[in-house]
Structure 1
Amino acid sequence: VKNRSAFGVLLAGSDHIRHTLDIERNAFSRGLPEYGEELADDLERLAGLHGADNIAAVIVEPIAGAGGVILPPKNYLKRLREI
């Protein structure tokens, strides 16, 4: 992401998962986007990589964007909670 290079890593040693914004599949979605729930599985892969006992926190911005306009896909947050 272009804007990350200006700020650098805010917390060294932290991992990020893919953003839920998928313009190609969700460009004209009304309400919660239909596609993208599977992106939550990235968290499960990270837990497998590091071990769940080594993860202290998961920080989520539930409605992203400067104006709060990027909604998470349907069932995405539910899937994160399950993991």
Structure 2
Amino acid sequence: IVTKQNPDKIRNELYDRLFNEDSVTGNASRSYTMNSTTAEEYLVTNWSLLKEAVNELNPDFNAIEAGAEACDVLIRCYLLDEAIDLALKRLL
């Protein structure tokens, strides 16, 4: 149950649970889309977001070597905190 007394605990539990959830980030299997062409389509307008995600999460990440699916997953992992915060704000 989400209450105003426990948002940090809930945030941490959600992050831990969702970080490796394929239907949220794709991190467990290293692909959310299970399709490189679809992942490439998702990246078309998100290059600056990818740059932010790389800088924040993995400065040694090589997008060319990793491929579109890995880039998509990295962005999804990067945005997870923000998505959880937005969801909790709506609930509280």
User: The TM-score by the shorter chain falls in which range?
Assistant: under 0.3
TM-score (norm 1): 0.25
TM-score, normalised relative to structure 2: 0.24
